[in-house]
Structure 1
Amino acid sequence: MKYRVCLTSEQRARLQAIARNGHHPAKKILHARILLMADRAHPKGNWQDQQIAQALGIHPNTVGRVRKLFATEGETSALGRKLRRSPPVKPKLVGVKVEQLLALYAEAPPAGRRYWSLSLLVQELEARGIVKKICRETVRNALKEQGITLNRRKRI
């Protein structure tokens, strides 16, 4: 079944602004151009899927998918990317583990050290068995979310 695209003048103006200004993601601009070319309510529109695909250098299935999204779910779904329900990799530091990291940070640093460095925190988290393996950036981000930034000055 072929899905029809009939744009109102407001929708057409919005899509033209997206397609022409270049300040949006490339996919969004491409999808706006597809919808403008597929618009049956405009004399310069009403292109066939094959014509649109050839003109834009994309696969005809992409054109059909954008048409279908516009007809069934609306303009925002056709232009935007679908949000993931869950991240591709589960976060290693959540809930109790973040609390354990904060408790570790609140303790005095190891003997011979004046402050906690990211490397020391990573080593200690792994040594205590809180996590099997973790990178410094993950620890830094977890601390940053709690409003903590490490520096080399002595802790107060």
Structure 2
Amino acid sequence: MKKYVVTLTADERVELTGLLAAGRTAAQKVAHARILLKADAADGGPGWTDDRIAEAVEVSTDTVGRVRQRFVESGVAAALTRKAQAKPSRERVLDGAAEARLITLACSPPPDERTRWTLRMLADKLVELEVVPAVSAETVRRVMKKTW
């Protein structure tokens, strides 16, 4: 007995078959639509097993199970689209305002009769100006690479 049983309504079936017939749709979305159509256990639906669906659609049985689960818990739209990514594991050291200060600083004349700013000097100056509590030269390099 399946824990997540897919039973499509007539409207959902029409929507999914229309998606398959459209032609220009993301491959992952097409695969998930095919999974839902093959897994349909409603009257007139094929009601295939996960193994048979996985073989026909060329995905893993885990993928079939996840699509079933997302359909039952959240509906057709959620089953067809990718799951939203979680927030980044850490906050950015330099936000937009701090990046702007860094660029302004890098465009200013370098100190102590130097010919140019070094990454370490820029990082130290940002800390000295209390833009950020601490920043590495590598972080400064990444921001400068992105903007220059």
Q: Same fold (TM over 0.5)?
A: yes
**Higher mean C-alpha deviation, range 76-85 or range 130-139:** 130-139
- Structure 2 residue 105 is the aligned partner of structure 1 residue 102: no
Unaligned runs of 5+ in 2: 111-115
Structure 1 outlier segments of 4+, above 6 Å: none
The number of equivalent residue pairs is 133
Confirm or deny: 8 A CA contact 1:19 1:30 kept in the other structure. no
> Could you tell me how far apart the structure 1 residues matched to 2:14 and 2:144 are?
46
Unaligned runs of 5+ in 1: 112-118, 144-149, 151-156
- Which residue does the alignment assign to 2:84? 83
Q: Secondary structure at the match of 2:139?
A: coil
* 1:63-118 Cα shifts (integer Å, max 9, x gaps): 12211221122212211221123125643322xxx33432454466226xxxxxxx
- Structure 2 residue 18 is the aligned partner of structure 1 residue 13: no
Cα distance change of structure 1 residues 139 and 9 upon mapping to structure 2, 3 Å threshold: farther
Identity of aligned residues (%): 33
Confirm or deny: 8 A CA contact 1:22 1:29 kept in the other structure. no
1:7-156 aligned at under 5 Å gives the runs 7-41=8-42, 43=44, 45-87=46-88, 90-94=91-95, 98-106=96-104, 109-110=108-109, 125-128=122-125, 129=127, 131-132=135-136, 133-134=138-139, 138-139=143-144
Q: Secondary structure at the match of 1:7?
A: coil
Q: Which amino acid aligns with 1:74?
A: G
* 1:119-140 Cα shifts (integer Å, max 9, x gaps): 9696663342453022666457
TM-score by structure 1 length? 0.64
Confirm or deny: 8 A CA contact 1:122 1:134 kept in the other structure. no
Cα distance change of structure 1 residues 134 and 36 upon mapping to structure 2, 3 Å threshold: same
> Could you tell me how far apart the structure 2 residues matched to 1:62 and 1:104 are?
45
Cα distance change of structure 1 residues 63 and 99 upon mapping to structure 2, 3 Å threshold: closer
Confirm or deny: 8 A CA contact 1:105 1:121 kept in the other structure. no
Confirm or deny: 8 A CA contact 2:122 2:140 kept in the other structure. no
Q: Which amino acid aligns with 1:110?
A: P
Shift of 1:37: 0.9
* 1:47-77 Cα shifts (integer Å, max 9, x gaps): 1212111112222222122112211222122
Shift of 1:32: 0.9
Confirm or deny: 8 A CA contact 2:123 2:140 kept in the other structure. no
Shift of 1:18: 2.5
